[in-house]
Each structure stands twice: as structure tokens, then as C-alpha cells.
Amino acid sequence: MTYIHQTITDLKRTSPSQCEFFQAVEEVLESIEPLLESVPRYKKQAIIQRMVEPERQIMFRVPWMDDNGDIQVNKGYRIEFNSALGPYKGGLRFHPSVNASIIKFLGFEQIFKNALTGLPIGGGKGGANFDPKGRSDAEIMRFCQSFMTELYRHIGPTTDVPAGDIGVGAREIGYMFGQYKRITGRYEGVLTGKSLLWGGSLARKEATGYGAVYFAKYMLEARGDSLKGKTCLVSGAGNVATYAIEKLYHLGAIPVSCSDSRGTIYHEKGIDLDLLKDIKEVRRKSLKEYIETHSDAQYISVADYPEDGHAVWRFKADAAFPCATQNELCVSDAKALLENGCTLVTEGANMPSTQEAVDTFIEAKIAFGPGKAANAGGVATSQLEMAQNASMQNWSFEQVDAKLKDIMKHVFNIANDTAAEFGQPGNLVFGANIAGFKRVAEAMIEQGAV
Ligand code: NDP
Ligand code: 2IT
């Protein structure tokens, strides 16, 4: 058995039943195998064994009262994975599917993503198996307050700085910030993704979607191509999907789809962005409402999805931007995309493509931007928010957007150059994993066995 396989076997024995976490670990470890053979200090220093074990895992009870006066209980998590490069940084996810495996996979990916940005941020992730759907604003507030009543003791502006993820946006960040301030009496940059009225950064809301599209643009430029006129499939209808669609329009592309957990909208002449924002950001309704305004659009409900795939990937397009959730694009979706002429896939979500789907794209040599590189714009702009908070400054939208572009260019260059250096030109999965790993590993070695 190889060293890598032994490490994975040991991990499966000591942390059983965490399939999403194993999936994320296997992908990274398989990429770095050649590096481990050529740099003996990584094995001697047990870098891999230390990297796959979080520095600290916090799990807690979140009791809260619903509008009927009944007490509900959820499970809360904060996984402080790796602080070699800076304070733990990563979002909070509120979704019924949240468990230790999901939060660990997200925290593990975050370590390398944050390293690729070149900024001083470590990796962490948290959340709860709370389902915000159908909950009143008062219930959301009570849940967020209860969640923060435990979380506050574990976080701080120089130790661990959470932000949003699925189910956590500016509203939830506001309620959590208010509770943190009330308990600690401190007004400080302990969360990012804050409202622009009280410490948030311009362009943070847009950053992940915009950043993913900038990344796609750089991938295409390296191939002598551009986004102009390209038909693009986008999945999701939340923060990342919405602002990916917006930036695609800015750059002359035509986004023709979006989706939520109940169904997909396909609109050949291009998604109506104002309507999408109104349905999802303002009214928090189902995408199905889209066809009430646009009878020329199609709505395919989840019940009608092909059994082994997802409707959103079955339309003809030049490019695909999965921006919803993990494993939302499987191998049959990947094959359908390729058959329909798709030559670019950019992951706005975290680990949206299954391992087999990723292998299919790499083998086809299309432009494939893995999530840990392509969606790094969100966390990078969170770090810009931290910098503004710490220096008591507010930068303009243009300043933040210019920095975001530079950071995405850096992420693309380092992944692309590293892939070429290690003999797999164009393979950004490989390049991103090796480049991210090297930065964290070298920092860990310099900081000793901690
Ligand atoms: P939102 O909660 O704003 O939106 C999530 C979207 O995905 C919604 O349309 C939701 O549908 C859909 N979705 C979520 N879970 C599922 C599921 N199990 N099946 C089908 N559809 C689902 O989240 P974000 O846009 O912030 O996050 C999307 C992805 O991007 C996630 O993978 C996240 O980790 C990643 N990401 C987010 C960043 C950020 O800054 N926000 C940064 C980097 C990555 P519905 O509305 O019906 O729930
Ligand atoms: O997955 C991610 O990078 C995020 N959800 C954003 C994290 C952050 O700290 O802004």
C-alpha cells in the first residue's frame, strides 16, 4: 500500500463515515503524491497526517424557541482546521444536510483555497443542520442568537473569523454580529459579509460570483479565447449564482439557466437578472415563480430530473458554472455537457463535481476551474473586509473589485504555472492542489510541530 493510501485508510478508520470529507482529502492527496516523493521532509514532519486532522473541532447544542413556543434543537459546528497561514477563516452553512463530514470537507478545502489567495488566512468552517426554509424572520433571529451564544467564545478578529455560506447571508450575519457584540461588548471585525451600514465591504456580496467569472475569463484568455457571446449554464439561485450571472452579462456572455433545490429554469434568451434577484434576494420564493413572468422560459422540477443526473446540465451550452452545492454535477452530467459542446467548467460552489466528473473533464482537456481556486474570490474579499475593519477604512467598490481581479489572476497564475512545472500543463486541479499544499506545508514546517 502506498504512503497516501495508508494515510487515507487510517483516516477512514479513525474518522469513520465521513464520505464528503474523504472525497476532498483523496483528491488533494492524490495530486500531491509526486511532491511527497521528491521532498522527504513532508513525510518526516508528518505534514499529511497533521493536515487531515483539524486543530480543533467544536460541536454544540443550539436550542431555540419557534413561533409556536416550542423548543427546537439543532447541532452547531465550528471546525478550526489549520491556522498555519493566519486566523481560521471560512463560512457558516445553515442547511438541513449539515453534519461533521460536510463541515470537515468544507474546512479542508478552505485551507488550500485560502492559501492560493496569497493572503494571511487559515482554514475553518462551521454551521448547523438548521433549515431556514419556511422560518419567520423572528425564528431566524432567535436561532442566530442562540448559535452565537455558544460560538462567541471560540471566535475573534485575530483568531477565527466566520462569514456566510449556504443559508447564511447579510441578514443572518447581522443577527449573529448583534449577539456577539451584546455578549462581549466589543465592536470588532469578528465576522465578514457584514452590512454596508456597519462595517461591511463593498463588493463582498458580489465577490464569489464575480471572482469565478474572472477566473473563467483568465482560463479562456490563456487559451486564446474569451467569454464574449458564450452561452452559459449556471446552477443555483443564491449569492454565488446570482453574481456569476451578473458578471457574465458584464463580459458579454449569455447565462441561460439557474436552479434551486426544487427545480431548474432554462431561458434561452438569457436569465432575467432583476427578476431572479426579486424572487430570491427580496421575496425568498421558489424559482418556479419565474415562469409566471416569462412564459417563454422552461421550468423543470426536481421530480422530473433524470435519475442519474441533473436537468440543468442537459442543455446545449459553451460553458457551465455549478454554483449550488457539493456533488451536484455527476459523471453522466459531465458527459452530457461534453457531448453538447461545452468547453469550460468553472466551479463557483465547493466540490460541485463528483470525482468521476472531474476526471472526465480533465481527460477531455477542457478548461476546468476547480472550486478551491475558482471560488476563492469570496474569502479573499472577506480578508479585504478584515483589512478595512482593522485599519478603520472603507474602500470604494472600484478599489475592492480591482483587488479582487488581481487576486483571481494570482490564483489562476499560481495554479496554472504549478501545473506546468509539475508536468501536467492545463490541469488546474493538480496545480491548485500542489500550490496550495506547498504554501501551507512550508509554513507548518517553519512553525514547528504544533
Ligand atoms: P445560497 O444559500 O445563497 O444559495 C444556495 C443555492 O443553491 C440556492 O439556490 C439553493 O436552493 C441551492 N442549493 C443548496 N443546497 C442545495 C441542494 N442540496 N440541492 C439543490 N440545490 C441546493 O448559498 P451560496 O450561493 O452562498 O453558496 C453556493 C455554493 O457556493 C456553496 O457550495 C458554497 O459553499 C459555495 N461558496 C459560497 C461562497 C460565498 O461567499 N457565499 C464562497 C465560496 C463558495 P434553495 O434556494 O432552494 O435552497
Ligand atoms: O466557501 C467559502 O469560501 C465561503 N463560504 C466564504 C468564506 C469567507 O470567509 O468569506
Fold held by 205-369: Rossmann fold (3.40.50)
Q: What is the pLDDT along the chain (450 residues), one digit of tens a residue?
A: 899 999 999 999 999 999 999 999 999 999 999 999 899 999 999 999 999 999 999 999 999 999 999 999 999 999 999 999 999 999 999 999 999 999 999 999 999 999 999 999 999 999 999 999 999 999 999 999 999 999 999 999 999 999 999 999 999 999 999 999 999 999 999 999 999 999 999 999 999 999 999 999 999 999 999 999 999 999 999 999 999 999 999 999 999 999 999 999 999 999 999 999 999 999 999 999 999 999 999 999 998 887 789 999 999 999 999 999 999 999 999 999 999 999 999 999 999 999 999 999 999 999 999 999 999 999 999 999 999 999 999 999 999 999 999 999 999 999 999 999 999 999 999 999 999 999 999 999 999 999
Task: Compute, in angstroms, the gap from residue 380 CA to the centroid of ligand 2.
Answer: 8
Q: Do domains 17-24+50-188 and 205-369 have the same CATH topology?
A: yes
Question: Sign of the CA dihedral 339, 340, 344, 347?
Answer: negative
Which residues are known to be catalytic?
125
For the chain, the structural domain boundaries read 17-24+50-188, 205-369
Q: Which CATH number fits domain 17-24+50-188: 3.40.50.10860, 3.40.50.720, 3.90.45.10, 3.30.1360.170?
A: 3.40.50.10860
Question: Which atom number of ligand 1 is nearest to the Cα of residue 286?
Answer: 47
Indicate if ligand 2 lies below 6 Å from the C-beta of 326.
no
Cα–Cα distances (Å) from 37 to 4, 165, 169, 325, in that order, read: 11, 36, 43, 34
Indicate if ligand 2 lies below 6 Å from the C-beta of 242.
no
Considering every ligand atom shown, identify the ligand nearest to the alpha carbon of residue 371 and give its number.
1
Closest CA to 145 of 47, 248, 76, 83: 76
Rounded Cα gap, residues 77 and 87, in angstroms: 17
Task: Compute, in angstroms, the gap from residue 306 CA to the centroid of ligand 2.
Answer: 31
* pTM to 2 decimal places: 0.98
Rounded Cα gap, residues 371 and 236, in angstroms: 14
Rounded Cα gap, residues 111 and 440, in angstroms: 8
